[in-house]
Structure 1
Amino acid sequence: MGGAMALTLAALAYPSMLGLSTVSSSQSRIIAQTQWGPLTEADRDFVVKVRAAGLWEYPLGQIGLQKGSTKGVKTASEHLVDGHAALDASCRKIAPMLNITLPNVASPQQVGFVNQLKGESGKQFDTDFANILRMTHGSIFNTIAKIRSTTKNSLVRALADQANDTVLDHITVMEKTGLVDFDQTIFNQTTPPKLPSSDLTPPAPPAGQPEVVLTPPPTATSTPLDLGALGGGTGGGTGAGLTPSPVPSAG
Structure 2
Amino acid sequence: MGGAMALTLGALAYPSMLGLNTVSSSPTRVIAQTQWGPLTEGDRDFVVRVRAAGLWEYPLGQIGLQKGTTKGVIEASKHLVDGHAALDASCRKIAPMLNVTLPNVASPQQEGFVTQLKGESGKQFDTDFANILRMTHGSIFNTIAKIRSTTKNSLVRALADQANDTVLDHITVMEKTGLVDFDQTIFQQTTPPKLPDSDLTPPPPPAGQPQVVLTPPPNATSSPLNIDGVTGGGGGGGGGGASPAPSPSSTVG
TM-score when normalising by structure 1: 0.91
Residue 118, structure 1, aligned to residue 108, structure 2: no
Q: Distance in 1 between matches of 2:59 and 2:4?
A: 19
Percent identity between the aligned chains?
Answer: 80
Matched, 1:9 2:1: no
Residue of structure 1 in register with 2:240 after alignment:
239
Judge conservation of contact 1:31–1:41 (CA < 8 Å) in 2.
yes
Structure 1 runs of 4+ off > 4 angstroms? Answer: none
1:157-215, Cα deviation, whole Å (9 max, x unpaired): 00000000000000000000000000101111111121100011011001111100000
- Render the CA deviation track for 1:39-79: whole Å, top value 9, x for unaligned: 00000000000000000000000000000000000000000
The equivalent residue for 1:22 is: 23
Aligned amino acid, residue 8 of structure 1: A
Distance across 1 between alignment mates of 2:252 and 2:78: 28
Partner of 1:106: 106
Asked whether the equivalents of residues 51 and 103 of structure 2 are also in contact (C-alpha less than 8 Å), the reply is: yes
CA contact (8 A) 1:102 1:249 kept: no
| Aligned twin of 2:51 | 51
**Contact 1:135-1:185 within 8 A present in 2 as well:** yes
Give structure 2 stretches of 5+ with no counterpart.
Answer: 7-16
Q: Would you say the 8 A contact 1:103–1:250 is kept in 2?
A: no
Does the aligned pair in 1 maintain the 2:18–2:202 contact within 8 Å?
no
TM-fit CA distance, 1:115: 1.2
The verdict on how the C-alpha distance between 1:216 and 1:123 changes in structure 2, with shifts beyond 3 A counting, is same
Q: Provide the residue aligned with 1:168 in structure 2.
A: 168
After superposition, the Cα gap between the structure-2 partners of 1:250 and 1:76, relative to the gap in structure 1 and judged at 3 Å, is farther
1:148 aligns with 2:144: no
Q: Aligned pair in 2 of structure 1 residues 165, 70: CA closer, same or farther (>3 Å)?
A: same
Q: TM-score, normalised by structure 2?
A: 0.90
Q: Which residue of 2 aligns with 1:212?
A: 212
| Distance of 1:214 and 1:43 partners within structure 2 | 22
Across the aligned residues of Structure 1 and Structure 2, the Cα RMSD in angstroms comes to 1.8
* Cα distance in 2, alignment partners of residues 154 and 221 from structure 1: 24
Would you say the 8 A contact 2:33–2:242 is kept in 1?
A: no
Matched, 1:95 2:99: no
CA separation in 2, counterparts of 1:98 and 1:250? Answer: 16
Unmatched segments (≥5 aa) in structure 1: none
Question: SS of 2:38's equivalent?
Answer: strand
Whether the aligned pair in 2 keeps the contact of 1:83 and 1:166 (CA below 8 Å) is yes
1:231 deviates by 2.9
CA distance in 1, matches of 2:190, 2:159: 25
AA of the residue aligned to 1:137: H
Matched-pair contact (CA < 8 Å) for 1:59–1:81: yes
Contact 2:32 2:39 in 1 (8 A): yes
In 1, the alpha carbon distance for the partners of 2:116 and 2:235 equals: 42
Q: Greater shift after overlay, 192-201 or 166-175?
A: 192-201
